[in-house]
Structure 1
């Protein structure tokens, strides 16, 4: 029996579109949990159907994006000693076993003693650097050693802080 005799062309197109949407949504959800672009993976799933969905299941995690999202949400933070990601409520770093400083983002009450953005960058404290930038600190200021925060972050190899500084106009 011929497929065209069972379904009209418009019914077939509706079936294909609904299948594409289902595979697109499935691909987008799977990829989003791995730190990938939701829109791009929806499009891939929509266009190539089950193959896009399978591809979204086997694609590697984007750990930098996942870590950055966790830090931005306040769920995680970077250890100032080893620069590894730990839970924000942790008292001791599980990687280097050093005691972690208390976190407070209320800079006006001076609960965190920070002399400059350079100190926060040197300590690898992404959340504090982000807060200082939001409060209007000059991202390109030079410290007494003649270094900018971006130069310090590059020396430390801290890609998350480098990306944050550049996105806020660091040169």
Structure 2
């Protein structure tokens, strides 16, 4: 019985991996999902849209800030100087 379940898992995992490869998605991850969830994973990967290289690169760099939120060097230096001055004033008040 376990041999049949393993064989079916490998078949569905392989099918998911092939479809994922054709759509530019993670092959190993989809193989594991296909092995564990069989037909459900195959239906899901078949329904997903293909990734192009720009989308894949964008997904990897989601943790970076957008260009609008990145401050210029001068603006950053001014804020750092203001923070340092504020810290110095706070220390003077605490010390004496």
Q: TM-score, normalised by structure 2?
A: 0.54
Superposed CA offset, 1:52-86 (max 9, x none): 11111111111126998xxxxxxxxxxxxxxxxxx
Following TM superposition, the consecutive aligned residue runs of length 4 or more in structure 1 with deviations greater than 4 angstroms are 65-68
1:67–1:52: structure 2 CA closer, same or farther, 3 Å change rule?
A: closer
Superposed CA offset, 1:94-133 (max 9, x none): xxxxxxxxxxxxxxxxxxxxxxxxxxxxxxxxxxxxxxxx
Unaligned runs of 5+ in 2: 58-66, 68-96
Residue of 52, 55, 62 corresponding to 1:63: 52
In the other structure, the counterpart of 1:145 is none
| Cα-Cα RMSD | 2.1
Match status 1:39 vs 2:17: no
Unaligned runs of 5+ in 1: 1-11, 69-153, 155-171
Larger Rg: 2
Distance 2:34 2:26 in 1: 12
Higher relative contact order (CA 8 A, sep 6+): 2
Give 1 or 2: higher helix fraction: 2
Distance 2:54 2:22 in 1: 10
Distance 1:59 1:19 in 2: 22
Contact 1:31 1:37 in 2 (8 A): yes
